[in-house]
Amino acid sequence: ECKTNKMSCSLHEECCRFRCCFHGKCQTSVFGCWVDP
């Protein structure tokens, strides 16, 4: 359901846990952008 690394995205929430949407692709992040305030 969620998107893994290198998959296209437009929002952090589209990416799997501990991943952020940067430059249109999901990328791993230790902070996990999915919990952004």
pLDDT in tens, 1-37: 999 999 999 998 999 988 999 999 999 988 767 654 4
Count of domains forming the chain: 1
Q: Are 20 and 4 in contact (CB under 8 A)?
A: no
Residues 11 and 19: their CA atoms lie apart, in Å, by 11
Domain region containing 27: 1-36
Single pTM value for the model: 0.74
| Ramachandran sector of residue 24 (left: φ over 0; alpha: ψ -120 to 50; beta: rest) | left
